[in-house]
């Protein structure tokens, strides 16, 4: 039932860089280092790794299975496998989550662009953290520039997506991902060779388990979901462009390894420098926009490092943004029969508008709140605390309980071409049917406050 006219990835390398491009993003380079800083370092990393291996990998297989089996967008995929079933809600959540994530992600993407430009200016870098904090809040609360930058970031993402899978997403990921790797590696080398970097390295690799609380566990699980792009149809959509012969196990393993590798590299680029300059590691979200420039100011060629760093953030963000856009665009083109161009224009208009509200909510609209949250916080909160866990839960329930076991095995083994050991398959099914749904339910109930862990 393969559709010969459907666009798709042209090579295994293309699949890998595109999926890794989706996974590696602001989640790794901006969120992971500050979560590690806030949650006591190495112990958090170990728990994060356990969640990735035990829970997230099987969820990733599940999403790839749904996508590749059906070669369709999220709505089409669920409709093909289970016509008229309530599981179609997975499609609704996916599109809603893509819009919601993009509505704040694209604003932060705009900040990275602004900071690339700022980094060229000699006045920008200063060792005075109050000055840097003022620069950041002054910029992000303004009404004009951040909106322009958000629209510029969104527009660049739209240009890549409009070109399609092979000639857009795959082509640009092939260039951007290796560049990203080299740049992060260089920055990590610079950071770990600073005098006094040892304390930062110890912080990353010597666990202090007394720091672990229920909150830490939840932060680690939420982060693993967000970072691996799970629970909102991204991997289903990209999976639908994967060739029938590819080994889904291998792709998932390599994606998880690349994503985690980037997170650790980001930790190595940030923490040793933070410690070497005696800055407290638990600075929260401002770590990257305020603390790092403070460090760059004290390095020779600081402006160069600053430009490189914000360029890295920008690349990581845009290769994730295109995967979020593709979820919406695939739905519009295949279900609503729009042309790709029209689909991208409509997605741009919707996200452009919500993103503008979310950007302005850091300034003039800061008093407009819904459920006590500004637009920016609401989009962020709704995505990671509601859409992703609910979406992930429904996906594992769907693959575990609704799809035929034989079909799942057929997909995992790529129609018999790949040998899947029976104990591996049983382990995967056990997690998909029981462990993952229970674990996600606990996280979900906890995050909306219905139960309190520990
Ligand atoms: N994984 C991306 C990151 O770490 C964010 C993302 C989430 C992308 C969900 C797609 C889907 O930044």
> Does the pLDDT of residue 320 top 90, yes or no?
yes
3-class SS letters over the chain: CCCCCCCCCCCHHHHHHHHHHHHCCHHHHHHHHHHHHHCCCHHHHHHHHHHHHHHHHHHHHHHHHHHHHHCCCHHHHHHHHCCCCHHHHHHHHHHHHHHHHHHHHHHHHHHHHHHHHHHCCCCCCCCCHHHHHHHHHHHHCCCCHHHHHHHHHHHHHHHHHHCCHHHHHHHHHHHHHHHHHHHHHHHHHHHHCCCCCHHHHHHHHCCCHHHCCHHHHHHHHHHHHHHCCCCCCHHHHHHCCCCCCCCHHHHHHHHHHHHHHHHHHHHHHHHHHHHHCCCCCCCHHHHCCCHHHHHHCCCCCHHHHHHHHHHHHHHHHHHHHHHHHHHHHHHHHHCCCCCHHHHHHHHHHHHHHHHHHHHHCCCCCCCCCECCECHHHHHHHHHHHHHHHHHHHHHHHHHHHHCCHHHHHHHHCCCCCCCCCHHHHHHHHHHHHHHHHHHHHHHHHHHCCCCCCC
Question: Domain of 362?
Answer: 12-447
> Does the pLDDT of residue 451 top 60, yes or no?
yes
The tokens describing 416, both together, are 């018999």
CA of 230 to the centre of ligand 1 (A): 8
The whole-number pLDDT of residue 1 equals 44
Residue 357 vs residue 34, higher pLDDT: 357
- Pair 224, 256: CB distance under 8 Å: no
- Pair 182, 188: CB distance under 8 Å: no
The answer to whether position 1 is within a domain reads: no
The whole-number pLDDT of residue 131 equals 87
CA of 226 to the centre of ligand 1 (A): 5
> Does the pLDDT of residue 257 top 90, yes or no?
yes
pLDDT band at 290 (very low <50, low <70, confident <90, very high): confident
Is 36's C-beta closer than 6 angstroms to any atom of ligand 1?
no
> Does the pLDDT of residue 2 top 70, yes or no?
no
pLDDT tens digits, 420-433: 888 988 988 999 99
Is 319's C-beta closer than 6 angstroms to any atom of ligand 1?
no
Is 26's C-beta closer than 6 angstroms to any atom of ligand 1?
yes
The whole-number pLDDT of residue 318 equals 96
Please count the structural domains in the chain: 1
The answer to whether position 4 is within a domain reads: no
pLDDT tens digits, 53-104: 988 998 999 999 999 999 999 999 999 999 999 999 999 999 999 999 999 9
Is 184's C-beta closer than 6 angstroms to any atom of ligand 1?
no
CATH number at residue 74: 1.20.1740
Residue 107 vs residue 422, higher pLDDT: 107
> Does the pLDDT of residue 454 top 60, yes or no?
no
Most confident of 5-14, 27-36, 100-109, 266-275: 100-109
CA of 421 to the centre of ligand 1 (A): 31
Is 394's C-beta closer than 6 angstroms to any atom of ligand 1?
no
The answer to whether position 218 is within a domain reads: yes
pLDDT band at 350 (very low <50, low <70, confident <90, very high): very high
**For ligand 1, mutation pick of 27, 33, 161 (most atoms within 8 Å of CB):** 27
Residue 380 vs residue 395, higher pLDDT: 395
Atom index in ligand 1 nearest the CA of residue 27 equals 4
Least confident of 30-39, 75-84, 151-160: 30-39
Is 22's C-beta closer than 6 angstroms to any atom of ligand 1?
yes
Whose CA is closest to 19, among 212, 258, 231?
258
Residue nearest to atom 6 of ligand 1 (CA): 229
- CA atoms of 392 and 61, how far apart (whole Å): 12
The answer to whether position 165 is within a domain reads: yes
The answer to whether position 296 is within a domain reads: yes
The answer to whether position 452 is within a domain reads: no
CA of 30 to the centre of ligand 1 (A): 12
pLDDT band at 447 (very low <50, low <70, confident <90, very high): low
- Pair 299, 205: CB distance under 8 Å: no
Least confident of 114-123, 195-204, 210-219, 331-340: 210-219
> Does the pLDDT of residue 333 top 80, yes or no?
yes
Is 226's C-beta closer than 6 angstroms to any atom of ligand 1?
yes
Is 323's C-beta closer than 6 angstroms to any atom of ligand 1?
yes
Atom index in ligand 1 nearest the CA of residue 23 equals 1
The whole-number pLDDT of residue 55 equals 85
Residue 388 vs residue 450, higher pLDDT: 388
CA of 122 to the centre of ligand 1 (A): 33
The whole-number pLDDT of residue 4 equals 59
Is 20's C-beta closer than 6 angstroms to any atom of ligand 1?
no
- CA atoms of 313 and 258, how far apart (whole Å): 16
The answer to whether position 2 is within a domain reads: no
Is 234's C-beta closer than 6 angstroms to any atom of ligand 1?
yes
Q: What is the mean pLDDT of the chain?
A: 90
CA of 312 to the centre of ligand 1 (A): 15
Atom index in ligand 1 nearest the CA of residue 231 equals 9
pLDDT tens digits, 354-384: 999 999 999 999 999 998 899 998 998 888 7
The answer to whether position 453 is within a domain reads: no
pTM score: 0.92
């Amino acid at each position: 039932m393969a559709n010969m006219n459907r666009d798709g990835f042209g090579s295994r390398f293309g699949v890998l860089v595109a999926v890794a491009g989706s996974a590696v993003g602001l989640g790794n380079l901006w969120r992971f280092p500050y979560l590690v800083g806030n949650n006591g370092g190495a112990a958090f990393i170990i728990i994060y790794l356990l969640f990735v291996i035990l829970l997230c990998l099987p969820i990733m297989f599940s999403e790839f299975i749904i996508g590749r089996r059906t070669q369709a967008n999220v709505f089409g995929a669920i409709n093909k496998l289970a016509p008229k079933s309530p599981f179609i809600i997975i499609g609704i959540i996916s599109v809603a989550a893509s819009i919601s994530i993009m509505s704040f992600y694209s604003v932060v993407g705009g900040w990275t662009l602004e900071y690339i430009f700022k980094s060229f200016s000699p006045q920008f870098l200063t060792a005075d953290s109050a000055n840097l904090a003022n620069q950041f809040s002054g910029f992000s609360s303004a009404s004009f520039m951040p909106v322009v930058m958000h629209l510029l970031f969104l527009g660049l993402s739209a240009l890549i997506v409009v070109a399609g899978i092979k000639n857009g997403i795959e082509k640009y990921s092939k260039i951007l991902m290796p560049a990203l790797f080299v740049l992060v590696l260089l920055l990590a080398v610079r950071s770990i060779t600073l005098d006094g970097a040892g304390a930062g390295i110890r912080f990353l690799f010597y666990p202090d388990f007394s720091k672990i609380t229920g909150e830490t566990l939840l932060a680690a699980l939420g982060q693993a979901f967000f970072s691996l792009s799970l629970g909102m149809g991204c991997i289903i959509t990209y999976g639908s462009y994967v060739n029938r012969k590819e080994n889904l196990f291998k792709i998932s393993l390599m994606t998880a390894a690349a994503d985690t590798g980037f997170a650790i590299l980001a930790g190595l680029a940030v923490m040793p420098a933070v410690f070497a300059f005696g800055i407290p590691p638990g600075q929260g979200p401002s770590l990257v926009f305020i603390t790092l420039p403070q460090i760059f100011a004290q390095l020779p060629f600081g402006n160069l490092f600053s430009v490189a760093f914000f360029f890295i953030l920008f690349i990581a963000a845009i290769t994730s943004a295109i995967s979020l856009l593709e979820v919406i665009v695939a739905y519009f083109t295949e279900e609503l029969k729009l042309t790709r161009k029209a689909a991208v224009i409509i997605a741009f208009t919707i996200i452009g508008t919500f993103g503008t509200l979310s950007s302005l909510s850091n300034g003039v609209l800061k008093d407009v709140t819904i459920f006590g949250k500004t637009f920016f916080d609401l989009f962020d909160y709704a995505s990671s605390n509601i859409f992703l866990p609910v979406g992930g839960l429904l996906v594992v329930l769907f693959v575990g309980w609704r799809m035929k076991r034989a079909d799942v095995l057929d997909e995992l083994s790529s129609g018999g071409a790949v040998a899947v050991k029976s104990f591996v398959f049983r382990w995967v099914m056990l997690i998909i049917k029981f462990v993952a749904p229970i674990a996600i339910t606990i996280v979900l109930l906890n995050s909306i406050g219905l139960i309190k862990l520990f």
